Structure 1
Amino acid sequence: MQDTPFAKGHGTGNDFVLVADPAGRSPLSPERVRALADRRFGVGGDGVIRAVPSGASGDALLDGAAEGAASTIWAMDYWNADGSVSEMCGNGVRVFVRYLLDERLAELPDGGWIDVATRAGVKRVVRRGELLSADLGPFELGAESLVAAVGLDVDRPGLGVSTGNPHVVVALASEDELAGLDLHRAPSLDPVPADGANVEFVVPGLIADGVGSIRMRVHERGVGETLSCGTGAVAAAMATRHWSGDAADRWIVDVPGGRLEVELDARGHAWLTGPAEIVFRGAALSPVQ
């Protein structure tokens, strides 16, 4: 057995186990991820993130993402709790940068930025006081599908949205409907996406002075229901913006774990802003590799 130093962090309750691999010699495996993410027998988290120098991760997508981006130093090797790899995580990339700062692996003055290589390309994270803001890039609206979930009386239409990873957003009529969902079981989609999808259920609120509001719950593929999903908040905001006739470019998204802000810039890039915290550190025994 070997001790694995780790940190535990979260962004609006979306929590992660973080490990540093500055030499690029300790790749994650599905077994190791499941052991670390297990909430009863491990550290516990919605996912596991390895901080590794870009170009040294051993993952073709991660190493290829940093090519041509001279400022990119670190890659975010992100895995879901079930041991499957994921393209990106909006809360995770902000927590990842907070981890780099706290571990003194990077410096970031207020207003400064750092680029992070992900499987969905390079993402820029800007420090805004105590908050971190991530440029998640352009989004893409997709096809509609029918969504069935425990607690819904009938199947509902959902709009596909790509934010670097796949989402399906479903609009509900009331907060009572939202609260009545049982998301311990994965919603079913028709047609079934080839790579699966995160499913966001939203209740749109008022739009005032160019700012819209949304309440959201989410079931994440490979994880289950989480208190928050950063790319899901972007998907929810962009779907609601589409349904409202592009009535607002700034959205406040309330999730069970807190509040996030999504803003669409003049280039069509979606920015996700919110808190990111490291809550404790330790060393985990790693009998599996």
Structure 2
Amino acid sequence: MGIELHFTKGQGTGNDFVLFSDPDGEVTLTPDQIRAVCDRRFGVGADGVIRAVKSAKLQAGAASLAEDDAAEWFMDYWNADGTLSEMCGNGIRVFTRFLIDNGLVELLPGDTIAIGTRAGVRDVQINRTGFQADLGRWSFDGGEPLVRGKNLPVARPGLGINVGNPHVVVALADDDELDSLDLTFIPQLDPELPAGANVEFVVPGDPLVVDGVGHIRMRVHERGSGETLSCGTGAVAAALATRHWAGASAPHQWRVQVPGGVLGVRMFPTEDGEHVSLSGPAELVFDGVLNLG
């Protein structure tokens, strides 16, 4: 039986998503359907699909409500290849915009909304660039695998960082190296990580720090989606890795240039350890209806 899917296309710095509302958890898309929706030639085209579902109506949402009973809504995120993803930094901002614009929540400047995700509950606020999401604690995770990329002459050491989902960050020498990468080919990790990883290639700004803010440029190959114009959690991982490489005097605020725009990253102390936040725009582009077989 077919599904009539009422959807919204949204994007955050070019990282684009198909979003739909399913408060009671009645609509289940198959991986084949998700791939069809995300196909840029035969479907709507997107880096992923996001379902807005009440946490109480989803098995994965039970953990979110146990962590914070204010996490009424769950961001059910699927990569373009039909696989599940734990977290999406650009996606959670666009998801929040979707909830607000569809009258599902009210969020005023200064207020915070708790959103359930498979990486845990994440808090989102309105800010001057759009939205800011507290992505919680982070960790070094995944070691330092060698990374091979198409058009990189030699393998480079990466740094494994987890911000709710796995990343490997690679430092490059200059813009020419970054621009020459062919990310239609999946970067190869040695050793491979059990769950795979998003891979970020980063070039530091010259100068690296301007008025107390660090500046970097990056491109990313996302697990399950390929190269994207932006990856929010990837920008966070790239800033964390660059701060680590730069040493104790490095700043805790960063400006990350991605092909789709600019994102802000901030590291700050909390009672349960250092958190990291991501800020940037979130826009809804158009609405539509799909008939899915």
TM class by smaller structure: over 0.9
2:129 touches 2:279 (CA, 8 Å); kept in 1?
no
Separation in 1, partners of 2:137, 2:235: 14
Deviation digits for residues 101-155 of structure 1 (CA, Å, limit 9, x no counterpart): 1111111111211000000000000111451000001111131010000010000
Per-residue deviation, 1:207:
1.1
Separation in 2, partners of 1:255, 1:22: 33
Whether 2:173 is the aligned partner of 1:168: answer: no
Per-residue deviation, 1:2:
3.4
Separation in 2, partners of 1:165, 1:68: 18
Counterpart in 2 of 1:224? Answer: 226
Counterpart in 2 of 1:200? Answer: 200
Counterpart in 1 of 2:280? Answer: 274
| Matched ranges for 1:140-155 at <5 A | 140-142=139-141, 143-155=143-155
Deviates more, 1:204-213 or 1:187-196: 204-213
User: Secondary structure of the residue that 1:260 maps to in structure 2?
Assistant: strand
Deviation digits for residues 237-275 of structure 1 (CA, Å, limit 9, x no counterpart): 000000011411000000000000000012211000000
Per-residue deviation, 1:208:
2.7
Q: Which stretches in structure 2 are left out of the alignment for 5+ residues?
A: none
1:11 touches 1:92 (CA, 8 Å); kept in 2?
yes
Deviates more, 1:115-124 or 1:261-270: 261-270
Separation in 1, partners of 2:129, 2:106: 14
Amino acid across the alignment from 2:288 = G
Deviates more, 1:12-21 or 1:206-215: 206-215
Deviates more, 1:116-125 or 1:64-73: 64-73
Aligned residue pairs, count: 285
Separation in 2, partners of 1:64, 1:32: 27
Deviates more, 1:191-200 or 1:35-44: 35-44
Q: Which stretches in structure 1 are left out of the alignment for 5+ residues?
A: none
Deviation digits for residues 35-57 of structure 1 (CA, Å, limit 9, x no counterpart): 21111111110000000001212
Q: CA RMSD in A?
A: 1.0
1:141 touches 1:239 (CA, 8 Å); kept in 2?
no
1:55 touches 1:64 (CA, 8 Å); kept in 2?
no
CA distance change for structure 1 residues 130 and 187 in 2, over 3 Å: closer, same or farther? closer
Whether 2:47 is the aligned partner of 1:41: answer: no
Amino acid across the alignment from 1:107 = E
Separation in 1, partners of 2:29, 2:265: 31
| Matched ranges for 1:238-253 at <5 A | 238-246=240-248, 247-253=250-256
Counterpart in 1 of 2:16? Answer: 15
Counterpart in 2 of 1:104? Answer: 103
Runs (4+) of structure 1 exceeding 6 A deviation are: none
Whether 2:261 is the aligned partner of 1:258: answer: yes
User: Secondary structure of the residue that 2:176 maps to in structure 1?
Assistant: helix
1:17 touches 1:47 (CA, 8 Å); kept in 2?
yes
1:110 touches 1:129 (CA, 8 Å); kept in 2?
no
| Matched ranges for 1:169-184 at <5 A | 169-184=169-184
Percent identity for Structure 1 against Structure 2 = 57
Q: With the length of structure 1 as denominator, give the TM-score of the two structures.
A: 0.96
User: Secondary structure of the residue that 2:71 maps to in structure 1?
Assistant: coil
Separation in 2, partners of 1:113, 1:129: 15
Per-residue deviation, 1:63:
2.7
